[in-house]
Amino acid sequence: MVEAVEDMKGVILAGGSGTRLKPLTTVTSKQLLPVYDHPMIYYPLMTLIGAGIRDILVITAPEHADDYYAYLGNGKDFGVRFSYAIQKKPAGLSQALGMAKRFVGKDSVTMILGDNIFGGSVAPWIRTFNGGAMIFVKKVRDPGRFGVVELGQSGSVRSIEEKPKHPKSHFAQTGLYVYDNSVFSRIATLKPSARGELEITDLNNLYLVDGALRGVILQGEWIDAGTFDALLKANQLIARQRKKFPTRR
């Protein structure tokens, strides 16, 4: 097992209603749907564990909390320690991350979305993180569907726009974020967007204004498995790369 990173906590966001995957999500949480031979949440969990993160908070909706505990337990079977938090109503990724303040304490934090599957390791960047904020981007054919990141030299970020009509680049912001401990004071300053949520792009832009936001271009595959086509693609990816994901409970 990879050596633990002592000053980094992990957060897996597994809430939401999964409306794009109904009727499958009528009976279970999106992040518990099968991807090849494991529930979907297993793969973002392996991304955190593979980076050396051992203390992990799972944030989920109240109606599925028992199901997550039935699968994950206290973390012993995975070699980690799990804590749980209930997000009663989805109010943005930044709002969800703000719920982890007490859990994170004085450490840094890596948040990953429970429906994001990464085909390669991100351990080198997480293990050497030394402050500010870090986002992971992937070149896509349809950037207007995502948060679009314009990169400068040496990983600097020039701009982030949420689902722009005229994208400035083909780099999409993925569902993996690393923050220093100042993230919680920054979240406290955010105002709800037009859709009533505390947006992750607004949070990242606070770091951008301070010159403290870095972008890392992912080399491996990335799938946001929130649609039927993406879920099928995720199953096919894992079937091809199964040896990269060690078999666990």
The yes-or-no verdict on residue 128 having pLDDT over 60 is yes
Per-residue 3-state assignment (H helix, E strand, C coil) for the chain: CCCCCCCEEEEEEECCCCHHHCCHHHCCCHHHCEECCEECCHHHHHHHHHCCCCEEEEEECHHHHHHHHHHHCCCHHHCCEEEEEECCCCCCHHHHHHCCHHHHCCCEEEEEECCEEECCCCHHHHHCCCCCEEEEEEECCCHHHCEEEEECHHHEEEEEEECCCCCCCCEEEEEEEEECCCHHHHHCCCCCCCCCCCCHHHHHHHHHHCCCEEEEECCCCEEECCCHHHHHHHHHHHHHCHHHCCCCC
Give the confidence band of 243 by pLDDT, cuts at 50, 70, 90: low
* Mean pLDDT of the chain, nearest integer: 91
Q: Output the pLDDT for position 44.
A: 97
The beta-carbon contacts of 191-196 under 8 Å, at least 24 apart in sequence, are 192/91, 192/92, 193/92, 196/91
Q: What is the pLDDT of residue 1?
A: 62
pLDDT digit string, tens, across residues 7-39: 999 999 998 777 888 888 888 899 999 999 999
The residue whose two tokens read 């009663």 is 88
pLDDT of residue 175: 95
Band of the pLDDT at 246, cuts 50, 70, 90? low
pLDDT in tens, 151-193: 987 778 999 988 888 989 999 999 999 999 999 999 999 999 9
pLDDT of residue 229: 93
More confident: 69 or 17:
69
Would you list the domain boundaries of the chain? 8-243
Q: How far apart are CA 11 and CA 23, in angstroms?
A: 27
Q: Which amino acid is at 234?
A: A
User: What's the pLDDT score for residue 144?
Assistant: 83
Average pLDDT of 87-96? 91
Q: Which of 52-56, 127-131, 164-168 shows the lowest per-residue confidence on average (mean pLDDT)? A: 164-168
Name the fold adopted by 8-243: Spore Coat Polysaccharide Biosynthesis Protein SpsA; Chain A (3.90.550)
pLDDT digits (tens, 9 = 90+) for 203-235: 999 999 999 999 999 988 999 998 999 999 999
Tell me the average pLDDT across 80-92. 93
The pLDDT of residue 102 is above 90: yes
Cis bond leading into 39, ω under 30°?
no
Nearest to 98 by CA among 193, 213, 185: 185
Cα gap 47→238, rounded to integer Å: 13
pLDDT, greater one: 56 or 91:
56
